[in-house]
Structure 1
Amino acid sequence: MMEIEWAVERQIRRFAMLNDAHDADGLAAMFTADGSFARPSEPDAPVAGREAICAFFRDRPRRVTRHVMANTTIDILSDREVRAHSYVVLYMADKTLIGDFHDRMELHDGVWLFAERCGSLTF
Structure 2
Amino acid sequence: MKSSELDTMLMEWQCQKLVTRSINLLDQGRWQELADCYAEDGVLYRPSAPLEKVAGRAAILQSFMARPVKETCHALSNMEVTLQSPTAATVVSRVVLFSGEHKAPDIETIVAAKGNVFIGRFVDQLKKVDGEWVIALRQGSIELNYKGCD
Shorter-chain TM-score above 0.5: yes
Pairs within 5 Å for 1:87-106: 87-92=94-99, 93-94=113-114, 95-106=116-127
1:15-37 deviation line (CA, Å, top 9, x unaligned): 11100111110111001111011
Cα distance in 2 for partners of 1:55, 1:66 equals 21
Tell me which protein shows more strand as a share of its residues. Answer: 1
Q: Give the RMSD, CA atoms, in angstroms.
A: 0.8
Structure 2 length as normaliser, TM-score? Answer: 0.80
Q: Structure 1 runs of 4+ off > 6 angstroms?
A: none
The one-letter code sitting in structure 1 at the alignment partner of 2:69 is: R
Q: Give the length in aligned residue pairs.
A: 123
Displacement of 1:110: 2.1
1:18-67 deviation line (CA, Å, top 9, x unaligned): 00111110111001111011111211112110000000001111110011
Aligned-residue sequence identity (percent) comes to: 35
Structure 1 length as normaliser, TM-score? Answer: 0.97
The one-letter code sitting in structure 1 at the alignment partner of 2:34 is: L
Q: Which runs of 5+ in 2 are unaligned?
A: 1-7, 100-112, 145-150
Pairs within 5 Å for 1:1-123: 1-92=8-99, 93-94=113-114, 95-123=116-144
Instruction: Give the number of the structure whose alpha-carbon radius of gyration is greater.
Output: 2
The one-letter code sitting in structure 1 at the alignment partner of 2:72 is: T
Cα distance in 1 for partners of 2:37, 2:58 equals 12
1:53-89 deviation line (CA, Å, top 9, x unaligned): 0000011111100111110111101100001110011
Q: Which runs of 5+ in 1 are unaligned?
A: none
